[in-house]
Every structure is written in C-alpha cells, then in structure tokens.
C-alpha cells in the first residue's frame, strides 16, 4: 500500500464533496492510501500570490512542510491548488532567502520546508504510480460504450515551467486513463483550453462564453460526457452549464464527471455511492 | 500524403502546406489550398511560404520582414499554434503533426482578417494607445537632452524580460478572454502596460493604472496561461499581469473593483479560517444585489443538491488554526517592515 499526504482543497470540502468521497471508496482497491492533511490551509487559489507573495510562500511552504514531516509526497486533486502549491515550491527552491524567512516562522509550529516532498496531481499518481495496466486489471464495469471528451483544464498543463508532466499543446495522460478504463476518447480541441472559472465572478459574460465553447464542442462531437481532473473546471462546466449554454443559445446539455468518479464507476461503484447525484446536470 | 521514404534519411521530405485562403473582396467563405513542396532539414515555415509564393502561387498573402525572429511580422498559426513562421522549423512541426506530412497554416485569431494569413493589427495598436503604452517622461522637456536618466540595475531587471516583446500578437491570438470578448485589453497590452508602469522615468503611472482596473482590463484575465505558453520570446506574461494587480491593490486598496475585492477575500479568509468561504464569495465580490440578480436561481439549485450549504454558510476552520494565524500575522509584520524599507 503506497501512502501519500492528501491536500484538502477548499472546493472539495464544500461544493464538490463527491471528489473526496469517490477517492475514499476506491483508493485501497488500487493499492494506495491518501492520508488527509487536516492541518493544511487554502493555497490562495491563484490569487494570494499577487495579493501578498510572502504570505503565499509561507502558506504553501507550510502545506508542503506538513507532508514532508510525514515523509510523503503531497497529492492534490484540484488543478489550481496543484499549480499554486507547485509555484510556491519553485520559488522556495529557487530563492534561499525566501526559504530561510519562511522557515524562521514555520519553526513556531515545529515545521521546516526542506523541498523533499513532491507536489503531484491525483491523475499523475494514477497514470505513473498505480499504472495503467494495474488500473485496467481492476476494471469491473468497462466504460466501453461511452464516448468521452477529456477536458484537462489549464493548471495541470500551464505554465509548463511549473507543471511539466504533459505536453501542454497535446496532453495525453487523461486520454490514457480513459482508455485504461475501457472508454473511448474523442478528438476534442478544447481538451487543453480554459473553462473560464477564474473570472466567473469578475467577468461573468466572458467566463460563460469560454465555458459554452468547450461544452458545445463536446455536444457537437456527440460525446456522452466530459471528464475533468479539476473540481473548478467541473463547477464551471456543470454548475454553470445551463447559464452558459442559454447565453450561447444551445438547448442541449452534457454531463460532466470528475476523474475520481469515472474511476469509481469503472471499478464498480454506483453513481449513488460516488455522489454523482450532487451534480447539477443529471 | 507522403509515406516515409529514403528521403527522410537524406534530410529531404515532401511536405504539404495546407494554407488558409480568404479574400473578402472575392470569396464568400474561407477555404484551404494545398501546396506540396520538397523541404530540406533546417528550412523554416516562412522560407517554405516564400518558396510557394515565388514558384507556385503568387496570390498567397502573408506578412514577413526580418526572417530572424526580431520584427514580429510573421505571426501565424502553424498546426493550430500561434507562433512566428520565421523561427519555426518545418521538421519540428512535422514531428508533431496529427496528419503525417501535412502542415496547416492559418492566420492569427482574435484580430480581424484582411486576406489569407494577414490580420489587421489596428485594434491592438488602438488598445496600446488607449492604455498609454509609452513612457510619459517625468523630465521637463526643457531638460531633455541635457542630462542622463540613470536607471538602477535592480529596476531594469523588473522590466528586462517585458521589453523583449516584439508585438507578434501570438499571445493575443491564444488568449481565452479575448476569444470571448474582443474588447478585452489583451495580454500584449497588459505586458506593455506593466513594463511602462514599473519604469521610474514614467509620470503617468496612476492614470494608466486607473484605466487598467476598469471593465475589460487587468481583472478580467482568467489565469489560463495560454499567453505565456505561446510567447515566442518566453516572457512570463502572467507575472506582468499579476504585477499590475499587486500594484493596483497596493496603490488603490482592495475595495475599488470587484477583482480586488475577490482577491482580498482569499487573503482574509485564509487568515481567519485557513479555508476559503466560497458560499459568500459572490456577495463579497459583487454585492448582494448582483448576487441575487445573477445567481439566485442557480444558488437554489446548488442548495437543493447540497453543493452549497443553506445560509448561514458555516465553514470549519483548518485544524491548528490558532498557531497558523500567529504565523500568518508574523509574516504580515515582515511585509510591513519590507514596505518601510522599500524592499519588496
């Protein structure tokens, strides 16, 4: 059983609780254990970094130090948390004075940021550590009748200087996971585009336009559903779907799943167990 | 389509350039023309286009000048990605082509099309004018030419990368928000604005910033990083965008726009609870009236599905919040000291 420290993203603690619920169901089936970091705090959601770069370094240096104390890698299931915490790690590793300043303060809690734990996405753990073959062998209900649109989202791909797992121009890890679960991926131009989430409250029209384009391409391509590794993309594409498509004059709809739910379905868990009924689009 | 042959080992390939064609004076809609030519290793997309124009079809239109990645004229989409034709190697593109042996060449996005691969740069230039993308000197005109304007190394480093921009408009073409609304300021103009704003010789910093925080300005960016990823000069454009936001918060406070209020919510929630209180974020960003008008039907659905709690939204603090708060406030003290000593 390989163990990991699991970062609790704010959105998965509130709006998208089904993500962590799903992971909780199948983690042992795949021989992995995610130890929840209850002491972890909000990463700043790609905002704290410019509001106060030093608080950003402290907060995320601490999040990583908590995992380091346990001697485990830090696993994240939200793209923006991933990008944000990795950006902080990059800064702390590159700027010794910043690391020193952060560590002076972290001493209070008996913590130290050393830079020994990696910060990785759930998707990467599934593809690289568990392995596609192992996942394939565990599948009980292959997704063979489904045409699936893989929506990666931005912050698992860009900036590539911080992420660096997939080619941001032509990513493949999510496609591979879908295929390992027996599903069929469709060619999807929006796979590496944006969902508009980060401007939902600031430039709503623009944000909904961005989401509508991604939804429309999946609908036009006759996908059965969209799958995403990010709960923020999910919120934009599922929660705001009706509004986005209404604005675009599209009268159809398409379900959107998290990767954790897609894995759960293929491993034989029911939609009810996985919390899929919590989605806005049925 | 050309099957792999001995040509490959010899460093020559037959390549089909599938070129976007549209002349609004003649054509009712755009179409593609295929031109197959033999290309040697080391040849760029621009040289191939020049060859096709000279030897096969003189009617193809595209812009190009320096052929060395300096002037920024030949921005276009090669196999879907905005880049300079003159610095893009045909063989590199072929290696990643979905359709073997075929390279699709299209005009940049998000700017009006003039003909074939040529787009109208005027909207971009107009925005540069609107956001005063130049230095309005602090030096009185009478003193100009009489004394030097010395810039410290430290200051220069703040805009060194930003000055590399050659206005090729690749970032403009890739921008998610510009695709959704052509009024948006655009990444290239934000980059230039940042570059001017951090220059101590500039006298209109405050006015430029006031314009940048308005609608269609710096707060509309959705952090997708497509601009940065496509920059032909590898400029960290998002650092510039975040730099303007940081500056706006410092100089204009955190209450003057919905963007800054949204950002402030993260800072205050983290300090208080260690967690973001998402349920009240719309109200804190845009006020109660906007939230009721825009989000009420959806909020009801979200509450019914238990995606968001019914009011009051209770969020449990992170474990160990007391000591976390102490550390957070200690860093606030550090930041205060930094500001005092002008070291950020």
| Region B135-148 average pLDDT | 90
Both B246 and B126 in a single domain?
Answer: yes
Both B84 and B137 in a single domain?
Answer: no
What b/e string do you get for A250-279 counting C-beta neighbours within 10 Å, with b at 16 or more? beeebbbbbbbbbbbbbbebeeeebbbebb
Both B316 and B286 in a single domain?
Answer: yes
Domain count, chain B: 3
Q: How confident is the model at residue B58 (pLDDT cuts 50, 70, 90)?
A: very high
Query: Is B3 inside any structural domain?
Result: no
Q: What pLDDT is attached to residue B239?
A: 96
In this predicted structure, the answer to whether residue B343 has a pLDDT above a threshold of 70 is: no
Show residues of chain A in contact with B294, CB under 8 Å.
204
Sheet of B81-84, strands arranged across: B31-40, B12-21, B102-106, B75-78, B81-84
CA angle B271, B277, B282 (to 5 degrees): 120
Q: What pLDDT is attached to residue B111?
A: 98
Q: Is the peptide bond before B202 cis (omega within 30 degrees of 0)?
A: no
Question: CATH no. for residue B54?
Answer: 3.10.20.30
Q: Phi/psi class of residue B255: alpha, beta or left (left: φ > 0; alpha: ψ in -120 to 50)?
A: alpha
Both B126 and B176 in a single domain?
Answer: yes
Q: What pLDDT is attached to residue B256?
A: 81
pLDDT per residue as tens digits for the range B101-127: 999 999 999 999 999 999 999 999 999
Both B133 and B243 in a single domain?
Answer: yes
Q: How confident is the model at residue B341 (pLDDT cuts 50, 70, 90)?
A: confident
Picking from B271, B259, B253, the residue whose alpha carbon sits closest to that of residue B333 is B271
| Region B25-51 average pLDDT | 97
Both B22 and B141 in a single domain?
Answer: no
Q: Under DSSP, is residue B19 helix (H, G, I), strand (E, B) or coil?
A: strand
In this predicted structure, the answer to whether residue B31 has a pLDDT above a threshold of 50 is: yes
In this predicted structure, the answer to whether residue B65 has a pLDDT above a threshold of 80 is: yes
In this predicted structure, the answer to whether residue B293 has a pLDDT above a threshold of 70 is: yes
Indicate which of A6, A13, A14, A186 best probes the interface with B, i.e. most B CBs within 10 Å of its own CB. A14
Token digits of residue B302: 């979200």
CB of A85 within 8 Å of any CB in chain B?
Answer: no
Tell me the C-alpha to C-alpha distance, in Å, between residue A55 and each of A40, B143, B280, B324, B334: 14, 43, 23, 11, 10
Indicate which of A206, A207, A212 best probes the interface with B, i.e. most B CBs within 10 Å of its own CB. A206
| Region A66-91 average pLDDT | 98
pLDDT per residue as tens digits for the range A104-134: 999 999 999 999 999 999 999 999 999 999 9
Q: Tell me, yes or no, if the pTM score tops 0.90.
A: yes
Closest residue on chain A to B244 (Cα): A50
* Spatial separation of the C-alpha atoms in residues A258 and A24, rounded to whole Å: 14
Query: Between chains, do B335 and A198 touch, taking CB under 8 Å as contact?
Result: no
Q: What pLDDT is attached to residue B190?
A: 98
Domain boundary among B254, B283, B318: B254
More confident residue, B8 or A18: A18
In this predicted structure, the answer to whether residue B26 has a pLDDT above a threshold of 90 is: yes
In this predicted structure, the answer to whether residue B90 has a pLDDT above a threshold of 90 is: yes
Token digits of residue A180: 């390992």
CB of A53 within 8 Å of any CB in chain B?
Answer: yes
| Region B208-233 average pLDDT | 97
Q: What is the mean pLDDT of chain B?
A: 92
Question: CATH no. for residue B213?
Answer: 1.10.1060.10
| Region A64-78 average pLDDT | 98
| Region B311-321 average pLDDT | 82
Both B188 and B235 in a single domain?
Answer: yes
Show residues of chain A in contact with B96, CB under 8 Å.
169-170
* Spatial separation of the C-alpha atoms in residues B282 and B290, rounded to whole Å: 8
Q: What pLDDT is attached to residue B81?
A: 96
Closest residue on chain A to B219 (Cα): A202
Q: How confident is the model at residue B1 (pLDDT cuts 50, 70, 90)?
A: very low
Query: Is B6 inside any structural domain?
Result: no
Domain boundary among B62, B93, B118: B118
Selecting from A44, A198, A279 the residue whose C-beta is nearest the C-beta of B222 gives: A198
Query: Is B5 inside any structural domain?
Result: no
Both B174 and B275 in a single domain?
Answer: no
In this predicted structure, the answer to whether residue B8 has a pLDDT above a threshold of 80 is: no
Token digits of residue A173: 């890890």
The whole domain housing B51 covers: 12-118
Both B27 and B107 in a single domain?
Answer: yes
β-bridge mates for residue B225, sequence order: none
Query: Is B170 inside any structural domain?
Result: yes
Instruction: Count CB pairs under 8 A between chains A and B.
Output: 195
Q: How confident is the model at residue B314 (pLDDT cuts 50, 70, 90)?
A: confident
| Region B224-234 average pLDDT | 98
pLDDT per residue as tens digits for the range A152-211: 999 999 999 999 999 999 999 999 999 999 999 999 999 999 999 999 999 999 999 999
Closest residue on chain B to A161 (Cα): B229
Domain boundary among B53, B86, B118: B118
In this predicted structure, the answer to whether residue B9 has a pLDDT above a threshold of 80 is: no
Contacts with B, A 192-221, CB within 8 Å: 193-194, 196-199, 201-207, 209-210, 213
In this predicted structure, the answer to whether residue B294 has a pLDDT above a threshold of 90 is: no
Query: Is B259 inside any structural domain?
Result: no
Quickly list H helices, B175-224. 176-180, 187-197, 205-212
Both B158 and B226 in a single domain?
Answer: yes
Both B284 and B228 in a single domain?
Answer: no
The burial of B170, by beta-carbon neighbours within 10 Å (0-12 exposed, 13-18 middle, 19 or more buried), is given as buried
Closest residue on chain B to A157 (Cα): B225
Q: What is the mean pLDDT of chain A?
A: 97
Selecting from B306, B307, B331 the residue whose C-beta is nearest the C-beta of A54 gives: B331
To the nearest whole Å, the CA of A10 is away from the closest chain B CA by 6
In this predicted structure, the answer to whether residue B311 has a pLDDT above a threshold of 80 is: no
Long-range contacts of the stretch B245-254 (C-beta < 8 A, 24+): B245/A50, B245/A51, B245/B218, B245/B219, B246/A50, B246/A51, B246/A53, B247/B197, B247/B198, B247/B209, B248/B209, B248/B212, B248/B213, B248/B218, B249/A50, B249/A51, B251/B206, B251/B209, B252/B209, B252/B210, B252/B213, B254/A51
């Amino acid at each position: 059983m390989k163990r990991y420290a699991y970062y609790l993203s704010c959105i998965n603690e509130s709006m998208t609780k089904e993500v962590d619920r799903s992971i909780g169901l199948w983690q042992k089936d795949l021989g992995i254990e995610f130890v929840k970091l209850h002491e972890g705090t909000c990463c700043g959601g790609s905002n704290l970094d410019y509001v106060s770069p030093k608080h950003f370094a402290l907060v995320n240096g601490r999040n990583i130090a908590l995992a380091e104390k346990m001697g485990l890698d830090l696993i994240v299931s939200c793209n923006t948390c991933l990008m944000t915490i990795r950006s902080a790690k990059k800064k702390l590793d590159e700027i010794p004075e910043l690391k020193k300043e952060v560590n002076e303060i972290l001493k209070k809690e008996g913590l130290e940021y050393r830079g020994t734990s990696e910060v990785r996405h759930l998707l990467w753990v599934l593809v690289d550590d568990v392995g596609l073959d192992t996942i394939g062998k565990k599948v009980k209900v292959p997704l063979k009748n489904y045409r699936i649109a893989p929506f990666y989202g931005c912050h698992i791909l860009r900036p590539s200087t911080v992420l660096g797992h997939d080619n941001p121009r032509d990513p493949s890890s999510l496609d591979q996971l879908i295929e390992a679960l027996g599903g069929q991926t469709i060619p999807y131009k929006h796979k590496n585009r944006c969902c508009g989430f980060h401007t939902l409250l600031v430039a709503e029209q623009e944000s909904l336009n961005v989401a509508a384009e991604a939804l429309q391409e999946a609908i036009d391509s006759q996908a059965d559903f969209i799958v995403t590794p990010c709960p923020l993309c999910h919120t934009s594409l599922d929660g705001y779907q009706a509004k986005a498509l209404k604005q675009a004059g599209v009268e159809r709809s398409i379900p959107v799943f998290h990767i954790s739910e897609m894995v759960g379905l293929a491993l034989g868990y029911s939609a009810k167990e996985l919390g899929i009924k919590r989605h806005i689009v049925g | 389509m050309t099957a792999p042959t001995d040509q490959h080992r010899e460093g020559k390939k037959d390549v089909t350039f599938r070129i976007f064609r549209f002349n609004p004076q003649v054509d009712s809609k755009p179409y593609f023309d295929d031109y197959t030519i033999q290309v040697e290793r080391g040849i760029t997309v621009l040289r191939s286009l020049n060859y096709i124009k000279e030897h096969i079809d003189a009617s193809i239109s595209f812009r190009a000048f320096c052929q060395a990645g300096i002037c920024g004229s030949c921005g276009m989409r090669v196999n879907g990605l905005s880049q300079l034709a003159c610095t893009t190697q045909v063989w590199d593109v072929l290696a990643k082509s979905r359709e073997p042996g075929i390279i699709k060449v299209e005009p940049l996005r998000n700017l009006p099309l003039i003909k074939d691969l040529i787009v109208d740069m005027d909207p971009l230039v107009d925005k540069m004018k609107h956001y005063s993308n130049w230095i309005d000197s602090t030096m009185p005109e009478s003193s100009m030419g009489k004394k030097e304007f010395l810039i410290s190394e430290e200051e220069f480093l703040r805009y060194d990368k930003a000055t590399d921009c050659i206005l090729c408009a690749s970032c403009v073409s890739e921008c998610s928000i510009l695709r959704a609304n052509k009024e948006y300021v655009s990444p290239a103009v934000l980059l230039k604005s940042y570059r001017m704003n951090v220059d101590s010789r500039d006298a209109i910093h405050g006015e430029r910033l006031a314009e940048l925080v308005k609608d269609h300005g710096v707060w509309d960016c959705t952090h997708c990083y497509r601009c940065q990823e496509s920059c032909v000069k590898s400029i960290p454009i998002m650092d510039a965008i975040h730099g303007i936001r940081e500056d706006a918060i410092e100089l204009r406070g955190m209450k003057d726009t919905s963007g800054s209020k949204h950002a402030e919510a993260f800072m205050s929630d983290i300090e208080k609870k260690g967690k973001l209180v998402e349920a009240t974020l719309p109200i804190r960003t845009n006020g109660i009236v906007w939230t009721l008008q825009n989000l009420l039907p959806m909020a009801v659905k979200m509450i019914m599905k238990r995606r968001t709690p019914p009011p009051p939204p209770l969020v449990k603090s992170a474990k160990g919040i007391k000591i976390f708060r102490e550390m957070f406030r200690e860093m606030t003290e550090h930041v205060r000291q930094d500001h005092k000593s002008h070291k950020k």
